[in-house]
Chains A and B, each alone.
Chain A
Amino acid sequence: MSSKEILLWIMNQFNDTVELIYKPLELDNKKITVLYIKSLIDQELFQKYILQPFFEIDSEEKLQVYLMALPQFQEVPSKEEGLLYVMEGNVLVEIQENLYAIDFKLSKNSDVNSTSVETTIHGSELALSDNLMTNINIIRSFYHEPTLTIEYFLKGEVNKPKIAVIYDQERVKTTALNMIKEKLEEIDKQVITESPQFSNFLNHKRFSLFPQMLLTERPDRIVYNLAGGKIVLLVDGSPQCMMAPAVFFDFMTTTEDNYHTFVISYYLKLLRYLGIFVCILLPGIYIGAASFSPEVFRTEFMLTIAGSRMGVPFTSFVEVLFMLFFMELLLEASIRLPKAISATAATVGGLILGTAVTEAALASNIMVIIVSAVAISTFVIPVNEMAFAIRIVRLLLIVIASIFGLAGLTLGFLCIIMYLVNQTSYGEPFLRMYNYRKGDKKSEGQA
């Protein structure tokens, strides 16, 4: 197929799009043909690097050498590739029966965002951008290793976004890499828009509760995890990336942990783990203590609880579910609402509902305290995905506690741990204690 035919074939694919520009240029003894989509390319660049030289360079050979010397230059191996190049914002240039693609993509989304989900006090405030190339540029400029490998895939039958798989060839966990590549090949979705979708696409399970991939928007976190052997998945147009394999403890660390002094960072970690225990167990303990075995706690304390529950017409678990339900509604509503209204929602929900509920004796004062304590401790979990999963775990434990009391709560908690341990994230056990001592590999085997 000659280059002329390829150009015609590409034009036919687009039917009668006004935006597709086909221009044969002829001057003196020079003749080139350009083909591009007007809205996709940077017209200034096009003017500066192709049109101007065309009028200034006197022979066709020189012009060709000039084009080949441009950094944006690419060869066009086939007509399908050519079509893709046009759609990605390249200018196809036909010169002397040869067809070249020059990348003049105009991207208005390449600005680096500031962190909105994972905010920290210490450390960088800059997050990824919406543009894949900018993101790769950020990662490359933070991670200076020749072993850093980037592979591109095109997935999604309709919109075909560019997907980049990034890893450090020396440190990467090969089983996980092979698994991810294998599963990437199997994806047959029509539309892919954001990288968080991959946590479901690459997961063959129909029901999964805990996230198997870590979502982040922070370049420092990406770099840290790349060095730890993780694989990073980026999608063009998505300001977040997925990292795998992820284990439970990844979801409990913030990047800030490395920026504090030793004692402070351990204190914060301790706080976080206590928070997760409180968040999971507190409602269950309340139910177990109030309805099943009040003798467990000291008498004065139980009398306070019983006094506070005076006049409340429900059993403790109805009370807990009632209050938690409204808290979850409030949480969900405040995410969806525009910022201006969400403050009102918080006031109405938190202050008015809280006081009114206790005054109407629909829930005890202590219950309101517990629900707010639980809500606060949910926010302590640094990665959002895990916080969502924990909310569901809490609900399960409440149900178990309301049937079997404190013993059921303990058993349920043990089962959750067992479930977590049994999960696998791309070949890595999801929850286990790691042995950080060097050279101690001898003491452990694999079954």
Chain B
Amino acid sequence: MSRFYYYLILINMIANIISAVPTILLYYREDGAVSALIVGAMLGLVIVVIYTKFFNAFPGMTFPELLVKTMPKWFYYPLLCFMAIMWFVAGASTLITYTFLLIRYLTPDIPIILLGLTLIVSIIFGCFMKTDRVLYTIEIIFLINFPIIIFIIIKAYTSKSLNWDFIKAAMLHVVEMPNMNVITACIFLSLGVVNLVIFNRFFTQKQNFGLKQIMVVAFISIATIFTTYFIPIGFHGLKSIEEMIYPWVATSDSMRMKFFLIERLVYVFLLLYLSMAFLSILIHWHVAVELFKFVFRLEKIKYKDIPIGYLIIILFFTAASLFLIVTLTEYQLFQYSKYFFNLTAVNFFGMIFLLFYIARRMKGAKDSKN
């Protein structure tokens, strides 16, 4: 598999450590979170395998192109529109979470609108780049940040404050019935693969996706889920974790670099996650923009050679996310994220049937041609 494929999956997983995912996981720690983690990881893997196999069968073709060939118009326009909005919301939720984080921890004196606007403006133009350029950007920024990620992980696992007894105690809850919200949040971690609906354009050659590749993805996802859930518990214990809105920021603040220029790891963590959030939003919004482009034929809307269609999208994205940033509170964000994760999980499971149908139609089309 191309390395770019793994970036798509990895970025989604890593970036969601700062989103509402760990909060949801930890919220249900005594109501069946641990068993749900196992179920969620497995279901996530199923989604990854099915979506990858499907898109691998049609190298270089995006999902809209496949739909055009196999489905009636009345069916795919609403579907794509719905998917585009979903991706916009996925990006926006990361954006909002990160804006709240910045206001709370790094730059409390900057007005929230200005901060949100900076984030949006710096990302939105990148979403209109070509797909390959988006992937190259991801690669370079990821490679610059990769040493820091490794450092933080090593630091976390070797820290003296990490109490493995807490983790063992938390694991005892495995016998409870799996919690639905946790399962869907867990599945959301693996949904980076769904970005292939547009990014498949880049993979013009057929890739081999066998057991080895599946093992790699499984390892990544299990390691991420384990780290996301158990490390905060190991630092804070099962009881006091419920007082935290951002468990991972608090966790990284529990680590200290005794002899380095920067003493509190939390600032390294925050700046690192600024890059990760940037990439995550870039990926999600790129897909959203491409889908919107396809649905509304934006490149054709022009006024005196100015591509108004693009301007409309930029304005819409900016205005909608700014509105959400200003109106939402942290508690609401948490609640809505929960609903959103449920929705995405159900939707992408439902879409598996659609994929099978499309694959059959495409096969039929190919056979009739020969």
Partners in one complex: yes
Residues of A at under 8 Å CB distance from B? 292-293, 295-299, 301, 404-408, 410-412, 414-415, 417-418, 421-422, 429, 431-433, 442-447
B278–A421 CB distance below 8 A: no
Hey, what's the 0/1 contact readout for B170-205 against A, CB within 8 Å counting as 1? 000000000000000000000000000000011111
User: How many angstroms between the C-alpha atoms of A197 and B20 in the bound complex?
Assistant: 54
Query: Which residues on A sit within 8 Å (CB–CB) of B132?
Result: 429, 446-447
- Contact, CB under 8 Å: B141 / A417: yes
Asked if A414 meets B106 with Cβ closer than 8 Å, knowing A299-B263, A442-B205, the reply is: no
Q: Which of B127-186 contact A (CB under 8 A)?
A: 129-133, 135-137, 139-141, 143
Given A297-B262, A404-B118, A417-B140, answer yes or no on A292-B202 (Cβ-Cβ < 8 Å): no
Q: Which residues of chain B are near A443, meaning CB under 8 Å?
A: 1-3, 205, 207
Indicate if the CB atoms of B263 and A421 lie closer than 8 Å: no
From A404, A412, A417, A445, B107 is in contact (CB under 8 Å) with A404
Q: Verify A446–B202 contact, CB threshold 8 A.
A: yes
Residues of B within 8 A of A405 (CB): 106-107, 110
Binds A, one of B230-238, B267-275, B313-321, B348-356: B267-275
Could you tell me the distance between the alpha carbons of A407 and B277 in the complex, rounded to whole angstroms?
Answer: 12
A114 to B22, CA, bound (A): 63
Chain B residue contacts of A421, Cβ below 8 A: 129, 133, 136-137, 140
Interface on chain A toward B: helix, strand, loop, or mixed SS? Answer: helix
Cβ contact of B2, chosen from A404, A407, A444, cutoff 8 A? A444
The dominant DSSP class at the B interface is helix
Are A418 and B137 closer than 8 Å at their CB atoms? yes
Q: Give B246 Cβ to nearest chain A Cβ, in Å.
A: 16
At the interface, yes or no: B211 with Cβ under 8 Å from chain A?
no
B-side interface size class: 35 or more
* Chain A residues, Cβ within 8 Å of B267: 293, 295-296, 406
Known: A404-B107, A442-B205, A445-B60. A414 touches B261 (CB 8 A): no
The 8 A-B residue pairs with the shortest CB-CB distance, nearest first, are: A445-B204, A298-B263, A447-B132, A447-B131, A432-B136, A443-B2, A296-B267, A447-B202
B76 to chain A, nearest CB (A): 22
Q: Whole-angstrom distance from the CB of B16 to the nearest CB of chain A?
A: 19
- CB neighbours (8 Å) of A422 from chain B are 126, 129, 133, 137
Pick from A297, A429, A444: contact of B263, CB under 8 Å: A297
A267 → chain B closest CB, angstroms: 17
Q: How far is the CB of B64 from chain A (nearest CB, A)?
A: 14
Q: Is B295 an interface residue (CB 8 A)?
A: no
B1-43 to A contact mask, C-beta < 8 Å, 1/0? 1111000000000000000000000000000000000000000
Determine whether the beta carbon of A293 is less than 8 Å from that of B106.
yes
Roughly how many angstroms separate A292 CA and B103 CA in the complex, as a whole number? 12
* B263/A447 in contact, CB under 8 A: no
